[in-house]
Amino acid sequence: MKILFVNACFIDQLLLIDNAENQKWQVHSKYKNSFNIQDERKQQLVVITTTNYPFMPNGIYLQSDDFLHVLSTIKIEEQITWEQNCLHFSKNHLLLTHGKPYSSLVDKATMSLLEISQKKIFSYSKSLIKETGSHYSLAQFLKETNPFKEAIVALCSENQLKQKLGLDFLIGRGMGLTPSGDDMIVGHLAARILLDKECSRLTELLLTELLAEQSVTTDISKHYLLCGLSGRFSEPVLKLIEALTTNSTEEKIEKIVKTVISVGHTSGVDLLAGFLTTIQILGTK
């Protein structure tokens, strides 16, 4: 198989200004529609996928044919050299310079949750029967008490001990590449940013857990939690936040919510459960 030069179509702009080139990388994991690369310190992941999928933090997007070619030639733990805006695999080179930059950062400039849009999303959520990873439908989750919801309530507390107990329950709890509890924490972090109620104590607690030598969650989930702490989220979450800061129609909010909950098996609905529960509690304080 001949060596090819492949162009990226889109790239998270932070990857172009970060110190990614100063580190060694390797192929961390590969799936049908994506693969991940990880830095040698195991503190950062980059997801490489096709333009059929929404933008993610630390994402690089390729045309489907180019992606399938690269995917077919890489191996887990293969070493990668990243220099001069190019990823050098053993059998291919991925050029980043032509990739159109996008931002995964929440734009806080003119952000404020509008009560009218908040009412619309909660009204629509009462009809959502898709199950969270806690086996409650989203509508049930928001209405009734359950251990996952109690843990999110604890994260909303100003008591550091309660916050720690909430984190201890949620981190790594559930199945999949991003356990349900972690997805709920990501939703909680997004809601705090939307409400302008970020909490330095909670940030310190979560960072301590994530950067421990033996993390209790997956590398992929750890990546998205760290991104959430720095205000970086997937495109559907950014659009959800934007919709709630403007006088959005019911149809627009329903469309965005459906996009969010379509992510993964339960990842999207778990994130939304953490997001809306947090707004329920902190949005009234």
Estimate to the nearest angstrom the gap between the alpha carbon of 205 and the chain centroid: 19
Supply the pLDDT for residue 151.
98
Q: Is the pLDDT of residue 244 over 80?
A: yes
Supply the pLDDT for residue 212.
84
In tens, the pLDDT along 4-45 reads: 899 999 999 999 886 667 678 999 999 999 999 999 888 889
- pTM of structure: 0.94
> 3-class secondary structure for 75-118?
CCCCEEEEECCEEECCCEEEECCCCEEECCECCCCCCCCCHHHH
How far apart are alpha carbons 146 and 125 in whole angstroms?
A: 17
In tens, the pLDDT along 147-204 reads: 999 999 999 999 999 999 999 999 999 988 899 999 999 999 999 999 999 999 999 9
Supply the pLDDT for residue 107.
86
Mean pLDDT over each residue of the chain, to the nearest integer: 93
Q: Is the pLDDT of residue 124 over 90?
A: yes
Q: Is the pLDDT of residue 1 over 60?
A: no
